[in-house]
Each structure stands twice: as structure tokens, then as C-alpha cells.
Amino acid sequence: MRCEYNCYVREHGAAARKGRKMNPSVFRIKLDLHGRMPGAVLRISEGDTARRLVCELCEDGRAYVFSDETYVIFEAIKPDGSTVAGDAVVIGASRIEYGIPSAAVSTRGTVSCCFKLYGADGLILTTPTFNIIVTEEVYDTDYPEGTDSFKALDGLITHTLDVIEKASTSASAADASASAAEASAAAAQDSASEAAASAATAASNAAGATAAAQGYADAAASSAQNAASKLNACNTAVTEAKKYAMGQVQTISGATPALFCAEGIRYVCSDRVTTLTVYSLSDCSIEFVTGSTVSVTLPSGCRFATAEPIYKPGYAYVLYFEPFTAAGQSFYKASFECLGAIA
């Protein structure tokens, strides 16, 4: 029955090993190579496999320092007289680590143990002995399968395996979620970087477009100013040309002249004018100085190119007339020039 029970436990133990590993229990002992410390005694339950031993070596209380290429062997004599040996590992400057095998604790009683150090020069150094007391398992392996104790143990093992399986599943799901979250974060970072680069490019393009638009606006304003200057110069030239074109001068006297204008005549009023009446027009000009009051009457077929002038008393004016046709209608286009105040 013991064999059947142990097989049952091994089966369930193998299933449990598919989950997370169990941390071993570590014994820490100190051995003096001069034997000045009492031997250590370790108590281990029969059949335990999760036991490790870390041994620190010293000489008269001072740490023993391993030389290079020191080789260490664990040796043990079991209560039945059989022996167990295995390779130990040197860690640090003066410590030995060894995983106690199940074979060393398979027999109840006192197991006498030691470490042997082998140097590259062939020298051998043996530590003082220490004992492992292998105690009996607390359960009775001869329980029949139908007993309450066996059923309770079977239920406990089944429950434990279920908990381990659920924990493993949860851990796997958590790892998957963490990986997905990490991937999402990386994708978000990439998107943010691309958006920032696009925004920077758009801002740069906008700044360039704004600068170009400002340049075009400045050029347009400059062109408009030049055009206005040229237009003023042209109007001045036209006015001067009209003055010289009106080669024949006719002087008009009196404060209230009334004119029937003839083509190519430059009419000059010799007296200050208070009332000027023009009955008919031609390609001509009229020069006059206003009196204290003034009234100017022109034919209905006359249109000023700009607003009709407001005549001020004591100012000299020149009115220009020329025939003009637009939209199938003929009329006289009028313009004027104010020569300033006359004393």
C-alpha cells in the first residue's frame, strides 16, 4: 500500500511541478577547519528534496579563503552504512553550496556528513563532520485508500493543484495583458511622435506661407503706390498739356461772364468772378478768380471726372472740358485745378 500511495503522491507532485517552482529551504552552517566549533546538526524529514546547504568555512574564527581551482565534494554515510557523494559549488571566497539529494535522506536516523576540498596541486582538506538527522514522515503511508484520512489528503492535494492551475492561468493572462498594454503604449507613442512631426511640418509650412503672403502683400502695396504716383504724374502732364494745347487766349472781363465756348480757346477772366455761366461747351478751358461769393453754372451735358469742386472765395481755378463718349453716350468730361489763394 505504501508503494501505491507514493505513486499517487508522485503523480500529483508531477502535475504540481507544471506550475511555479517552489523555493528550496536553505540551511546555513559554519565549520571551523581546526574543529574549534561544535558540529552542526540538521533535522530533515525523510524523503525531502527541497533542501539546500550553504556552509561557511573558517580557521580559528577567521574566514578560510579558497585557492583558485579548488574542487569540493560532499560525502555522507547513512545509518544503513551506504554512502552518498556529490559535487558541491564554491561561492564567494569562503562558502560552499550543496543541494542535499533525496538519496541522502532516504533512511531514518543520523547521517554523518563532511566536505572534502581538492586542490589543483593534489592536496586534500577535509572539514569537521556534521550530522543530518532524518526524521520519520508525519503521515502514515499505510492508510488504505478508503479511510477518511486518505480521502482528506486526496481532497487537499486536488484542491492545491486546482489553486496552482488557476494561479498559473491568471499569471499567463496577466502576462498577456501586460504585453498587450506595452504594445498599445508603444503604438500610442509612435502615433504621438508622428502627430508631433506632422504638426511641426504644418506649422513650418504655415509660417512659410504667411511670410510669402506678407511678401506678396507688400509687393502689391508698393505696386499700388507706384501706380498712384504714376497716375498723379499722368494727370499733371495732361493738365500741363491742356494748358499748352489751348494756344489761343481770349480775355473775358466783368464779374458775371456768360460764355459760348469755342474749340481750342483758353478763356481767362480778368476780373474776380461772382457768377460764371457757360451755355455751350467745346474742347476748351476757363481760368478765373472767385470773388467774395461765387456761382458756377455748366450745361447739362457736362460731367466731372471726380466730385464737382467747392469754390472758395479768393481762389484761382482752371476748368478743363473735353468731348467724351462712353456706353454709346456723348458728353463733355470736366476736370479742374485749384491754383491757390490770390491776394
User: Tens digits of per-residue pLDDT, 145-200?
Assistant: 566 666 666 777 787 788 778 877 887 888 888 888 888 888 888 888 888 888 88
**Measured at the alpha carbon of residue 268, what is the angle toward residues 264 and 272, in degrees to the nearest 5?**
155
pLDDT of 63 strictly over 50:
yes
The residue count of the chain comes to 343
CA distance 100 to 88: 10
pTM of the model: 0.39
CA distance 62 to 60: 6
- At 205, the pLDDT band (50, 70, 90 cuts) reads confident
CA distance 76 to 44: 14
Beta bridge partners of 130: 113
pLDDT at 155: 76
**Strand, coil or helix: what is 191?**
helix
Q: 33 and 128 in contact (C-beta within 8 Å)?
A: yes
Give the count of beta carbons closer than 10 Å to the beta carbon of residue 77. 16
pLDDT at 1: 45
Give the count of beta carbons closer than 10 Å to the beta carbon of residue 125. 14
Q: Mean pLDDT for the chain?
A: 85
pLDDT of 64 strictly over 70:
yes
pLDDT at 217: 82
CA distance 312 to 272: 12
Residue 56 phi/psi, 5-degree rounding, is: -105, 130
Average pLDDT, integer, range 68-81: 94
- At 13, the pLDDT band (50, 70, 90 cuts) reads low
CA distance 190 to 182: 12
Q: How far apart are the first and last CA of the chain?
A: 148
Q: Are strands 25-32 and 51-59 parallel, antiparallel or unpaired?
A: parallel
Which residue did the predictor score with more confidence, 219 or 290? 290
pLDDT at 256: 96
CA distance 171 to 18: 13
- At 126, the pLDDT band (50, 70, 90 cuts) reads very high
pLDDT at 177: 84
Average pLDDT, integer, range 128-145: 76
DSSP 41: E
pLDDT of 96 strictly over 50:
yes
Which residue did the predictor score with more confidence, 17 or 113? 113
Beta bridge partners of 91: 95
Among 134, 98, 99, residue whose Cα is nearest residue 116: 98
- At 37, the pLDDT band (50, 70, 90 cuts) reads confident
CA distance 60 to 258: 148
Residue 327 backbone zone (phi > 0: left; psi -120 to 50: alpha; other: beta): left
For 256-284, write each residue's pLDDT tens digit. Answer: 999 999 999 999 999 999 999 999 998 99
